[in-house]
Structure 1
């Protein structure tokens, strides 16, 4: 079997598909033969732009707000009707608001709730919406994109760290609840070389890279390779957190 046939016949839904990590995941999954539903948070034009970069045919572009469960339900129905249903769900949608950990007053209830809603509840709601499709063939897969902030407690805000810790635990609980028809894995990157966090410039990135044992930041491609492994070579794994951080957690 060639690389382009590894996921032939599969449909992969990538939430956050217009972001750096999501677009990289969409590309590798498409290169492995999957038809990919690229999902942007609100702007279908962004999803369409990524879809045009994918090899193969039969891909789709959609928009859905992960904080809106009704929007996710509509997305699941569209994927079922247009692509035949999902086999793989990648939860790479996320957000953050940088707040210094020591500034408790700056981390308002509004910010805290928004970060947890998008990063943690949104991922759960997406699994809930797609679970009937994922489980139908008995070999469904969910891959949640977390962060080593979940365990190091170092991140853009305390709310962000908490949301990713919740995602890790939720992944383990879902892996038990949905087995054996759906596997659930979590990919946990270190600092990723994207513009996800506002205000972080090149000098900041270089400092973080120098403090990482493998001496560079995590790339979106690194994360996507781990997601592809979850869908191919790690077929007997579920409930695990896979760190892709160049040893930064050490």
Structure 2
């Protein structure tokens, strides 16, 4: 069951305010892992811009989160796969909240398809646009601004599919594998003042998991060290660390948060 904003805020604030004074932009921020990251950042003292294709959901969460934390939180509608929208999106966020010094590229899609030979060009392009092209442009634009202002942190959310691809998620896995590569390249481009890292996420119980055969997933999980899928709030510790002040020497890194899935046979 998804935690309320109030419960999530209380849990994060018990560990201090490591994001105080920061301004963060979180794509795919209205639900799932992005929602938990946005809530945790605001609870930890950041002003936050929540972005997804569904502006109404972003605005609703922003209002609730602002009321719960006292931080400035804004909601924005944008499709990150639309290259031409992203410069304007960043301008829009910075006009309201000031310079963005934390970017979280969390938005992603993994549509199902019957077989690889039936993957159409439209589906393939859509998957790469959201999972790879959008993050590339967001990192390029936001990273340059951060570097010119003296620093910042970029966090990408990748997937264990990048290291354990299957025929049923191959375009998605390829895009996430390329996102891992971008992490190293952008860390070089904008270092030393801008840090760029990636969380390689395993199976989490989010809206996407509603389409899973949970009995089959439970059986599969018995071979993983954790013996279970993750809860969305369990992404928070890694996100706060990688974007926070104690990770000053961590950049170009892939941090796996998957309950040991990739370590399993």
**TM-score, reference length from structure 2:** 0.87
Q: Which of the residues 79, 95, 107 maps onto 1:65?
A: 79
Query: Is the CA contact 1:67–1:122 (under 8 Å) kept in the aligned structure 2?
Result: yes
Say how many residue pairs are matched. 247
Aligned residue among 55, 61, 73 for 1:50: 61
CA contact (8 A) 1:208 1:217 kept: no
1:87 is matched with 101
For 1:193 and 1:208, locate their aligned partners in 2 and report how far apart those are by CA, in whole Å: 15
Shift in Å, 1:109: 2.0
SS in 2 for 1:193: coil
C-alpha separation between the residues in 2 aligned to 1:227 and 1:53?
21
Verify: 1:213 aligned to 2:225, yes or no: yes
Q: Is the 8 A contact 1:20 1:220 kept in 2?
A: yes
Report the 3-state secondary structure (helix = DSSP H, G, I; strand = E; otherwise coil) of the residue aligned with 2:51.
Answer: strand
Distance in 2 of aligned mates of 1:155 and 1:241: 23
Counterpart of 1:121? 133
* Aligned with residue 37 of structure 1, among 49, 68, 78: 49
2:154 corresponds in structure 1 to 142
Question: Following the alignment from structure 1 to structure 2, what is the Cα–Cα distance between the partners of residues 204 and 91?
Answer: 30
Q: Deviations over 1:123-166 (max 9, x none)?
A: 11111232243224423111000011101113741101101100
2:258 maps to which residue?
245
Bigger helix share: 2
Distance 1:17 1:180 in 2: 27
Does structure 1 residue 22 correspond to structure 2 residue 28?
A: no
Deviation at 1:201, TM superposition (A): 3.5
User: Over aligned residue pairs, what C-alpha RMSD do you find?
Assistant: 1.9
Alignment pair present for 1:203 and 2:203: no
Which stretch shows the higher mean deviation, 196-205 or 221-230?
196-205
Q: Is 1:157 the equivalent of 2:139?
A: no
**Deviation, structure 1 residue 197:** 5.6
Equivalent position to 1:231, from 243, 252, 264: 243
**Paired residue for 2:124?**
112
State the alpha-carbon separation in 2 of the partners of residues 155 and 183 from structure 1. 33
Instruction: State the TM-score, normalized to the length of structure 1.
Output: 0.92
The answer to whether the 8 Å contact 2:161/2:169 transfers is no
Gaps of 5+ in 1: none
Task: Give the distance between the partners of 1:141 and 1:76, measured in 2 at CA.
Answer: 15
Give the deviation of 1:8 after TM superposition: 1.2
Which SS does the other structure have where 2:30 is aligned?
Answer: coil
Counterpart contact for 1:39–1:63, Cα < 8 Å: yes
Contact 1:97 1:156 in 2 (8 A): no
Q: Which residue of 2 is the match for residue 184 of structure 1?
A: 196
